[in-house]
Amino acid sequence: MALLFQSSIDSAERWSAELHRLLPDLEIRVWPQIGNTGEIDVALVWRPPSGLLASLPKLKLIAALGAGVDHVLADPLIPAGVPVVRLVDPYMTAAMSEYVQLQVLRLHRQDPVYLAQQREHVWRERPQPNAAGRRVGVLGMGELGRDAALKLSVLGFDVAGWSRTERRLPGIVCFHAAEGLRALLARSEILVCLLPLTPATEGILDARLFAGLPSGAAIVNCARGQHLVEADLVAALDSGQLSAAILDVFRDEPLPPQHPFWSDPRILITPHVAAATHAPTAAPVVADNVRRLRQGRPLLHLVDRERGY
Ligand code: NDP
Ligand code: OXD
């Protein structure tokens, strides 16, 4: 059995070593040196060039090198009928929750305001509510959103979540579907986006959504840059409808050096690091699915191509 590895951001050496340890008889071919395309059964990919997957006539499994599969499904030539699986890795989930807790705490404790005051040498105490008095909303109650919401709740925040279908989570106020969004927004002083990027969620962080939040709310986007309508964010910050934004993901990555977000003091930036794929913990997830494929057992973490996640 042969596996094709394609990524511009994950280390091929690291992944090859981890997979070789777990599946010593698996042949690994690193793109673009992939040899005879007819020998490849599994493609492990981050952002495959359009047509690459279609060029593999014996392909039986497409495994995404991330939790999000938008990069993979974006290829219009992706072969129909080949199952797509994604990464669900407890290490990644814990890392995302660390990121969300950190950024929500920064906003809750008014870090952007105090950073601005420090730049101006201003010593001014601001009223500080406690966590129980701070309402946080999480868009997306999947693997990552659920864990983040529960951990925010353990920190004492008043947390609500939003999903496509109805979900129940202890201690979390749950909303779902288009009807539930308005209610979630109305109570979210800090809004965290952990939605997958699909045709239904692209551009969801727009002027209409911002207008539904309490005045002066802040957002954290650690899902995908295409969720955010950038001009609407700037307008909402200018009007005071939003007070701050923390962004880990961007439409254009790396964020171009001349992009105005870099120098906007109301926007805090991290370079798509909220929960990076971690080969030592993610490779066993991939290896498990390769073994399942070989043995004809059901695959884990299957993506529903129709839904887009
Ligand atoms: P999941 O597929 O487990 O969860 C997705 C959640 O979003 C589900 O609760 C789903 O609802 C909800 N959802 C999907 N579409 C809609 C919709 N139209 N309306 C309302 N809710 C919707 O995804 P994960 O939690 O594993 O990951 C989420 C995203 O995080 C990834 O797709 C990726 O883009 C991003 N990510 C970013 C990283 C970073 O470093 N910045 C790292 C890893 C992931 P339901 O429960 O009803 O199905
Ligand atoms: C992912 C990511 O989707 O790192 O896993 O963005």
Predicted confidence (pLDDT) per residue in 84-104, tens digit? 999 999 999 999 999 999 999
Residues 72, 78, 79, 80: what is their CA dihedral angle, to the nearest 10 degrees?
Answer: 80
* 3-class SS of residue 4: strand
CA angle 304, 68, 149 (to 5 degrees): 100
Task: Specify whether the backbone of 44 is left (phi greater than 0), alpha (psi in -120 to 50) or beta.
Answer: beta
List strands edge to edge, sheet with 217-221. Answer: 173-176, 158-163, 135-139, 190-193, 217-221, 242-247, 267-269
Predicted confidence (pLDDT) per residue in 119-149, tens digit? 999 999 999 999 999 999 999 999 999 999 9
- Say if residues 145 and 138 touch (Cβ distance below 8 Å): yes
Is residue 11 very low, low, confident or very high in pLDDT (cuts 50, 70, 90)? very high
Question: E strand or H helix at 221, and its extent?
Answer: strand 217-221
Whether 227 is a known active-site residue: answer no
Mean pLDDT of 19-44: 97
Predicted confidence (pLDDT) per residue in 158-171, tens digit? 999 999 999 999 99
Mean pLDDT of 36-52: 97
Residue 204 near ligand 1, beta carbon < 6 Å = no
**CA 61/CA 293 separation, integer angstroms:** 8
Residue 93 near ligand 2, beta carbon < 6 Å = no
Whether 259 is a known active-site residue: answer no
DSSP conformational letter for 228: B
Cα of 66 from ligand 2 centre, angstroms:
4
Residue 293 near ligand 2, beta carbon < 6 Å = no
The atom of ligand 2 lying closest to the CA of 87 is 5
The atom of ligand 2 lying closest to the CA of 275 is 4
Catalytic residue among 224, 251, 292, 297: 224
When the pLDDT of each residue in the chain is averaged and rounded to a whole number, the result is 97
Cα of 64 from ligand 1 centre, angstroms:
14
Predicted confidence (pLDDT) per residue in 171-225, tens digit? 999 999 999 999 999 999 999 999 999 999 999 999 999 999 999 999 999 999 9
Task: List alpha helices for 58-89, DSSP H.
Answer: 70-73
Cα of 37 from ligand 1 centre, angstroms:
33
Residue nearest to atom 44 of ligand 1 (CA): 67
